[in-house]
Amino acid sequence: MIYFEIVALSFFSLAVLLITFILIYLKIVNVQGSKHKKWKNIVEILVRDAIFNESADPAHMHFPINHRTSILLKNNRFRNLLTQELLSAKKNMSGTAATYLQKLYLQLELDQYALKDLSSKKWYVKAKALQDLGIMNLNVYLSKIYRQTNHKNELVRMEAQIAVIKLTGFDGLRFLDVVSYQINNWQQIKLLNELSYLPASNFNGIEKWLLSKNDSVVIFALKLVKSFHRFELHQQVVDCLAHSSDDIRYQAIMALEKIYDESTSSLLLRLYDQEVLKNRIAIVKALQQIGSEEDIPALISFLAQEEAEQKRMLVRTIANISPTGLNQLLLLPESNIAPLSLIIKQIEGELES
């Protein structure tokens, strides 16, 4: 009997402790929520006043900061909230509003915290600092940012590389001269996206990057040629078709589709038999855009050695090049035999629809 009383008392004590803990936790959450709401209001007023400031002299603008806000800036959570709001606003602003946001960021000395984080041994802290400095367009720290473009951590490298492009435009690509690590596909996508916001420019350096010992630099250079239609680099891209890397040859084929001349299609056709499957597919797709009737006999000759899916691509390319292409296919003895007969009917149906 005593044993059961002890057990019951223990359970009762635990229940009281649990309820007390829950009540204390809820009170803390409510206090924090109320505090965060007040901080949010202060931050929104600061950011709004910066965006809609009517001062005629941005260079000498000084924002009034009350004592309470100055004290709050020493609080990490408040400072992080303010920093994120400023960065978020800056991403969506340009002109005078963007300049005022930058001025406020500097006046509050938030850049000093970013610089401190830039020296952190934690890669994610360093990467965030680089991102912040880039968004805020702080050219004064360009040399510090540039040093990180060849950092051993790929995310730190990526943020540094994007930041230097934000700060200096196409000139920021000079990191390609010295980068020793591979620039992965995701990094290349991010860099090209950043460059897409800039006015097209005949920037220098691609010729050198096409000869780089770093394969990823060559691949990225070929993507630059393709994206910015650098016709004057046609021969240098053609030279890349002799590269030992399948991926580089693939990107060269893709680039030539955008900067082709009268010799490009016949050149690609001569390489067809020597190429790996991925590159043969790329050649056939490119010829849909740049091929001529003179290329059709060569394309027809490839049909005998290919599997059904590749045959379909060849037939589609032949049909796209010229309306007479399918007529030439129908003259082949095997045009009445599957799978070629079925493929021809399918492509004819696509053209009619």
pTM: 0.83
* Model pLDDT for residues 194-222, shown as the tens digit of each residue: 999 888 777 888 999 999 999 999 999 99
Name, in order, each residue with C-beta under 8 angstroms of 19's C-beta and a sequence gap of 6 or more. none
Q: What is the CATH number of domain 112-170?
A: 1.25.10.10
Q: How much is the pLDDT for 39?
A: 85
CA angle 128, 129, 133 (to 5 degrees): 120
Ordered DSSP codes for 273-327: GGS-HHHHHHHHHHHHHH--GGGHHHHHHHGGGS-HHHHHHHHHHHHHH-TTHHH
Average pLDDT over the chain, rounded to an integer:
86
**Directed axis angle between helix 154-168 and helix 185-195, to 10°?**
10
d(CA 275, CA 283): 9
Share of the chain above pLDDT 70, in %: 87
Q: How much is the pLDDT for 1?
A: 58
Q: How much is the pLDDT for 147?
A: 94
* Model pLDDT for residues 227-285, shown as the tens digit of each residue: 999 999 999 999 999 999 999 999 999 999 999 999 999 999 999 999 999 999 999 99
* Domains in the chain: boundaries: 1-51+76-108, 112-170
